Structure 1
Amino acid sequence: MGLTSALFGGKLRIALVALVLVAAVVGAAFAAGIIGAPSVDRVDNRFGGVNETATVIETDLYVSNPNPLSANLSGLAVDYGVEMNGIRMATGEKEGVSVGQGTTAVPLRTTLENECIPEWWVSHVQNGEHTDLAVNATISSEMLGRTFEAPEITRSIDTDLLSAFNSTETSEINAESPVVSDPVLYVNETRAEWGESTDERTALELTFVVHNPKPYPIAVSELGYDISMNDVAVGEGTTNSEYVIPPRSTETIEATTHIQNDRLDEWWVTHLERDQTTDLHIDFYANLDAGGTTLRVPLDPLTYEKTFETDIFGNKAASDGSETTDEPTATETTEATETAESETATSTATTTSTATTTATTATTPSSDDGTTTTDDGLL
C-alpha cells in the first residue's frame, strides 16, 4: 500500500509540475507575441421566454482565437453584463470554456427579475423616453494570466408615447341627457407631458382647453381616468380640483394622472409576449354641474390610444413573432413610424435604435469540457 501511495504521489507531483511548465511556456509564448490574445468580436442577446416573475435572456458571445489550430485555448472564463441607463439588467459568467481556431459562439443563459422593471421604466421616462443600452464582456485566462476587455457594444432605444396627445383639433363633448342640449362643452386643445416620477408612480400631466357654449356656467367637479397597457390596468383615479367655466367662455383645465409602477412588471410580460408591442389606452370621464343638474359624462372624444414598439436588442426584424425564436441579425437601425386618427388620436410608433457591433465570420460551437456554468440575472 505504501509503494502504491508513493507511486501515485509521484505521478501527481509530475503532473502538477507539467501543468506549471505548460503554463509557463504558454505565458512566455504570449509575452513573446507567439500566441495571440483571444477577443470578443460580437455579443448577441435575445429574449428566450417570459413568465409572471422572470425573463430569460439568451446570449451568444463570439470569441475569436487568432492562433493556429494546434494552439487551442482552454480554461477560459467569460463574463458579460447588460446595462440600460446605467442599471445592471443581467450578469452572466461561464467558466471552463475552450475555443479552437477562428470564432467560437459561447452560449449563456441569464435571468432578469420582472419585479425590477419599474426601476428601468422610471429611468427611461426621466431620460426623455430614452434608454442607452450597453453590453460589456471580458475574457479571463489563467494560462495566459490576463483578462481581455471586449469593445463595448451600445444601442439607443427611444419611444414617443405622448406627442400624439398634443392636438388643437376641436372635439364635442355630449352629455346625451334630456336635461341639457348637446354639445355641452367643446375641447379645443389637449396637451400632455411627463411629470414627476418616483419609485412608486409616474406622473402624467394633462392639459385641456375647454369652451362652454352655454348661457350658464358649467362646473367640472371631477375628472376621472383609467390607464391600461395591453389591457393591464396600470393607473386609475380622479382629480381633486374643481373648475368653473363661465358662460360662453374658455377655461384651461389641468389634471395629473399616475401610472402605478408596481404594475409594470405585469405589463412587461404582455409586452414581450406581443413581440415587444404595447397598446396604451387612456379613458376619461367627468362629473359636470350644468344648469343645476349633476351629470356623469364619458369623455369618449378624448380617449387616447397609442401603440408603441421596442427593439431592445436590435434583432426583432428576424423574429417570427415569438420572442423565443429570435435569431441574431446585423440589424443596425429601425426607423420610427407614426400614424394618427383624428377621432381617437391613435398612433403607432416604432422605436429608433442604433447599434454598434463588430461583424464576424466563421463560428463553431463552444466546448465546455464538462465544466459548470453559472448564469446569474441581476438588476
Structure 2
Amino acid sequence: MDTGAIRSVLAGSKLRIALLGVLVVVGAVGGAFALGILGTPSVAAVDNSFGEVTNETTTVETDVVVSNPNPVGIGLDGVAVNYTVSMNSIEMARGGREGIRIGTGNSTVALETRMRNDAIPPWWASHVRNGERTTVDIDATVTSDRLGRGVAFSRSREIETDLLSAFDSEETRPVNADSALVDDPVLYVNETRGQWGSVSESETPIDMAFVVYNPNLEPYAVTEIGYDVTMNGVEMGSGRTDEGYVIPSRTSETVELTTALDNERLDEWWVTHLDPAVNGHQVSDLRIEFYAVVEFPSGGEVTVPLDQLTYEETIETDIFGEGEDVRDSANGTDGEAEPDGDDSGSTDGSSDGDSRTDDGSTDDTTGGATDDTTDDTTDGTTDGSTTDGSTDDGNETGSDDGVLPL
C-alpha cells in the first residue's frame, strides 16, 4: 500500500473517531440532564414593553432572560421559549420561539407579538367591574423535547385607577345663564355624585346625580341636561336626559343623569394612551362637559354651558412596570413624587355668613327657629344660611382639584 493510501485510511479513521467522540459527549450531556447531574435551564426574567401601535394592533416587545446553570451551552432543536400576557385573566398577547441556542449563564431571547386592539373593550369592562383594578399576569416557560421537562416563570402586578371619587362633591357652584331675561345665578348645584353603572363590553355607563337649588321666587324648569365625554380628546360619548325637572322656588331637587362611554371607541383611545407624545407615559385625560336647557316662567328658555361642573380626571397606568423614571421623565418631575393636592386656598363658591336671608331656611341666630319671612333686599343680618340653599357653618372646605394621584 502506497503512502497516499495509508494517509487516506488514517484520516478517515480520525474523522470517525472524532464524530464518535462528539456523539458520546452529546449523549453524555443529554444523559446528564436527564439524570439531573446538570441543571435544567429556566426563565430568570421577562421584560415587556409596547412597541408600534396602530388602530388595529399593538406590538408587545418581550425580552425573555433564560438562565443556563451549566458550564456548556445548549443548541438543541427541541428547546423552546413561550410566554403569555393576561389582564384580569383575559389573554392579551401570546408569543414564543423554538430551536433557540442558549449560552452559558444568562441569555436574552427577543420576542415580538401583535395584540389585537379589540381585546381592549373586554379588558376595560373587567377593569371597571373589578373596582377599577387589574391584575397583569406574565407567564413564561422554557422547555426541551430532548430533556423532557420545562421550567415555568410567573409574575403578577396590580394596576389601580380612581376615576369617579373626585366627582362626589358638596361644593356649591352657581349656574349663570348670561341672559338679559333673568338675573344670575339662575340656579345653584350644591352637590354632585357619581358611580359606575352596569358595564358591558359595548358601553360603560356612569350614573350621576346633581342636587340643584332654585334661589328665585318662581319655579324654573330644567328641560334637558346633556353631556360630552372625551378621553385624550377622543370622543367617547354624548347624550342627554330623557325627562325634564321642575325646580320649585327656594327648593332643591335631585336631577339624575346617566352618561355612557362607547367602548367601541376604546381602541382609538388606546392608541393615544400609549403614545408618550400625547400626555406622557400611559397617561390620559378624562373630561366630561355638561350643559342644561333652562325654561323660565315667561316661557323663554336658554342653553347654559355648565362650565362649573366640567369634570376632569387623569387615567394613569404602567401595565408592564417599566419604571418610575419613565413616568417621572414624561411628567418633568425629575424623579420626585408629585405632592398631594392642596385645597387650602380654594373656596366652595357659596355665600358667606353675612349674606341676605331670603331662602326660608333655618336661621342659626334664632336658636333653630324657622324664619318664614321673605325679603328680597339685603338686610345686613348675620345667619347661617345662604342664597344658594346651602348651609354655611363658618368653616369653608376647600374644593377638590378634580385630579387624584393614582
Deviation for aligned residue 1:269:
0.5
The residue that corresponds to 1:65 in the other structure is 68
Code of the residue aligned with 1:144 in structure 2: it is L
Contact 1:223–1:286 (8 Å) recurs in 2: yes
Contact 2:73–2:102 (8 Å) recurs in 1: no
**Partner secondary structure for residue 143 of structure 1:** coil
Return the alpha-carbon distance in structure 1 between the equivalents of residues 76 and 119 of structure 2.
36
The residue that corresponds to 2:219 in the other structure is 217
Rate the CA distance shift 1:240–1:277 in 2: closer, same or farther, 3 A. same
Rate the CA distance shift 1:320–1:251 in 2: closer, same or farther, 3 A. closer
**Partner secondary structure for residue 319 of structure 1:** helix
Rate the CA distance shift 1:350–1:115 in 2: closer, same or farther, 3 A. farther
The residue that corresponds to 1:235 in the other structure is 237
Deviation for aligned residue 1:18:
9.7
User: Mean Cα displacement is larger for which, 97-106 or 128-137?
Assistant: 97-106
2:293 equivalent to 1:304: no
The residue that corresponds to 1:281 in the other structure is 287
Contact 1:281–1:306 (8 Å) recurs in 2: yes
Code of the residue aligned with 1:81 in structure 2: it is T
**Partner secondary structure for residue 161 of structure 1:** coil
Rate the CA distance shift 1:49–1:321 in 2: closer, same or farther, 3 A. farther
Rate the CA distance shift 1:320–1:205 in 2: closer, same or farther, 3 A. closer
Deviation for aligned residue 1:350:
4.8
The residue that corresponds to 1:164 in the other structure is 166
Return the alpha-carbon distance in structure 2 between the equivalents of residues 317 and 212 of structure 1.
48
The residue that corresponds to 1:327 in the other structure is none
Deviation for aligned residue 1:308:
2.5
Rate the CA distance shift 1:340–1:276 in 2: closer, same or farther, 3 A. farther
Deviation for aligned residue 1:80:
0.2
2:60 equivalent to 1:54: no
Code of the residue aligned with 2:93 in structure 1: it is A
Q: Percent identity, please.
A: 48
Contact 1:157–1:312 (8 Å) recurs in 2: yes
The residue that corresponds to 1:294 in the other structure is 301
Residue correspondences, number? 327
Q: What is the TM-score when the length of structure 2 is the normalising length?
A: 0.74
Instruction: Select the structure that is richer in strand.
Output: 1
Contact 1:288–1:296 (8 Å) recurs in 2: yes
Deviation for aligned residue 1:256:
0.4
Q: Give the aligned CA root-mean-square deviation in angstroms.
A: 2.8
Return the alpha-carbon distance in structure 2 between the equivalents of residues 95 and 17 of structure 1.
27
Deviation for aligned residue 1:305:
1.1
The residue that corresponds to 2:182 in the other structure is 180
Contact 1:335–1:350 (8 Å) recurs in 2: no
2:90 equivalent to 1:87: yes
Q: Please, which runs of 5 or more residues in structure 1 have no aligned partner?
A: 1-15, 324-330, 352-379
Q: Which protein is bigger by CA-based radius of gyration? A: 2
Code of the residue aligned with 1:189 in structure 2: it is E
Rate the CA distance shift 1:340–1:290 in 2: closer, same or farther, 3 A. farther
Deviation for aligned residue 1:339:
3.2
Q: 1:99 aligns with which of 99, 102, 112?
A: 102
